[in-house]
Amino acid sequence: MADIVSIGELLIDFTPYGMSEFDQPLYERNPGGAPANVLAALAKLGSSTEFIGKVGDDAFGRELAEILNGGGIGISGLARTEKARTTLAFVHLDHQGDRSFSFYRNPGADQLLEPYEVPLDMIARSKVFHFGSVSMSAEPSRSATLSAVRYAKEQGIVVSYDPNLRPALWNSADEAREWILEGMKYSDIVKVSKEELEFLTGTEDLDQGSRMLAERYGVSLLLVTLGGQGSYCRCGSVTAAVSGFPVKVVDTTGAGDGFMAGAIYTVLSKGLALSSCKQEEIEELLRFANAVGALATTRKGGIPAMPSLEEVLALKSSRNEPL
Ligand code: ADP
């Protein structure tokens, strides 16, 4: 039984790792997939977690299962298939350390998760159920994800959602928007980047865009990440913005997932009432989540980059003013 259960893609990220002696780019094999990264960060902070997804019956799939297990994440909901290989994604970093992706997924095992493979009892016993949009970009994992989310909502479990827009995985921008917004209908906590806010609402104005999503979709806690600048939050009519922690950035891969984990961790550990947040509570939540996100940028990759609770508390107690 775990406090936080998530569903979604589990894959191998090949992350740039300098140049070979023959001047060819090298790639490091990192475990990846946003929902698994979020659980890895939560497990590192000390929470109990379980993952639901699918990998190929191949060496990469076995390695991913071992990595999750070794990170303290339950894998009884991880299915395997011989019908497709474990999904691969190559990460491209620009000079700022910002990422773009090439997916090797035609199909990848993560897309083949079937609704009947979702362990509903595991969801029913959790406190927070987390998902993203990558697993909604193709069938049957779209139906598996949405049926799990609807079930969690019916059971009164707090539903957390990070759409994580990856345009390369959708047939069109309209299709991506339609399904991302479908997921939002069931979500209590939502995290978007400023770019995603604009993509979904047509405005990059934080107040206006966050109000639109919160009111239209009934989102209780709407979080907007602003990269190194920090983050913004709306809970009903209460809003807050907290600036980021200055750190030496190596790779931003795990930042958003670390931030998401920090927010979920705070909601659970502080017993935050999402229907009536106070200003100080959401500022505290943003400070904690910013600290997890910032620390995740100081190391390469997603799962291996997640910080311990001690590291987060140490950074959090350093100076960090509201925006
Ligand atoms: P995503 O776009 O995946 O949501 P971001 O890149 O905005 O994620 O990062 C999430 C959070 O991580 C930010 O809100 C911030 O708190 C922290 N973070 C990201 N980049 C930096 C950075 N360069 N310096 C400090 N903190 C950062």
Question: Does the pLDDT value for residue 198 go beyond 90?
Answer: yes
Please state, in angstroms and rounded to a whole number, the distance separating the CA atoms of residues 290 and 278.
18
Task: Count, in order, helices (H) and strands (E) of the chain.
Answer: 10, 13
Q: Region 184-201: what's the mean pLDDT?
A: 98
Each residue's pLDDT tens digit, 44-103? 999 999 999 999 999 999 999 999 999 999 999 999 999 999 999 998 878 776 778 888
With pLDDT > 90 as the criterion, what percentage of the chain qualifies?
Answer: 87
- What's the full length of the chain, in residues? 323
Closest Cα to atom 4, ligand 1: which residue?
Answer: 256
Longest dimension (CA), the chain: 59
Ligand 1 site, residue 252, Cβ cutoff 6 A: yes
For residue 297, how far is its CA from the centre of ligand 1 (angstroms)?
8
Cα(170) to ligand 1 centroid in Å equals: 24
CA distance 66 to 78: 11
Residue 35 near ligand 1, beta carbon < 6 Å: no
Q: How far apart are alpha carbons 182 and 153 in whole angstroms?
A: 13
Distance from the CA of 120 to the center of ligand 1, in angstroms?
33
Residue whose CA is at the smallest distance from ligand 1 atom 26: 294
Residues 252-311: tens digit of each pLDDT = 889 999 999 999 999 999 999 998 999 999 999 999 999 999 999 999 878 889 999 999
Contact 71, 102 (CB under 8 A): no
Angle between helices 34-45 and 309-316 (to 10 degrees): 80
